[in-house]
Amino acid sequence: MAAVAAKAEDLKRLNTELLAISIDTVFVHKVWQETELSKLIPGGFPYPMAWDIEGKVGRLYGVYAEEMGINLRGTFLIDPEGIVRVVQIYDAPIGRNYEEIVRMTEAAQYVRASGGAEACPANWKPGKSTIKPSAELAGRVYEIWNPSELDN
């Protein structure tokens, strides 16, 4: 969360709203903010942190690890209509990739702006080729995209 919080302005420029949800109490959040986050992030944590003490939200989103009593790290991109467009769930000791969160956000917004007429292939970034899904494209994707683009 701290890595995303440190770069929250980048995501806000993409017209996003951020929310952290933790099973920790508001008191743990306060202590974490005062003793750790305020030292990592100038000005402290820049977006709301919600309390999910019983793991209800975590269960709904499939991140609550019953045996550990924690919510695993998860990233969910939810569009303005409330539809979950991207889900990434990480094992407890594995951190997020901030650049991938930005990339996924840009791709989801691009697809939405195209009305679903275009798809963003693996590793897509703004300015790179997209794919226009159609029945005619079946069996011919290789003509317009190939895995060598992953290196660019």
Convert the pLDDT of each residue in 120-144 to its tens digit. 998 899 998 899 998 988 888 888 8
Cα-based distances in Å from 44 to 17, 39, 110: 17, 8, 31
Q: What is the pLDDT of residue 140?
A: 87
Six token digits for residue 60: 């709904």
pLDDT, tens digit (0-9, with 9 covering 90-100), for 116-126: 999 999 889 99
pLDDT range class, residue 150, cuts 50, 70, 90? low
In a domain, 6, yes or no: yes
Nearest to 91 by CA among 69, 65, 54: 65
State the pTM of this model. 0.85
Report the mean per-residue pLDDT for the chain: 89
**Beta strand pairing call for 20-22 and 49-51:** parallel
CATH number at 60 reads 3.40.30.10
DSSP state, 72? P
Range of the domain at 136: 114-152
How many degrees, rounded to 5, is the angle at CA 16 between CA 46 and CA 84? 120
Q: Domain check: are 27 and 80 in the same one?
A: yes
pLDDT, tens digit (0-9, with 9 covering 90-100), for 71-109: 999 999 999 999 999 999 998 889 889 999 999 999 999
The residue type at 120: C
In a domain, 74, yes or no: yes
Q: Domain check: are 95 and 123 in the same one?
A: no
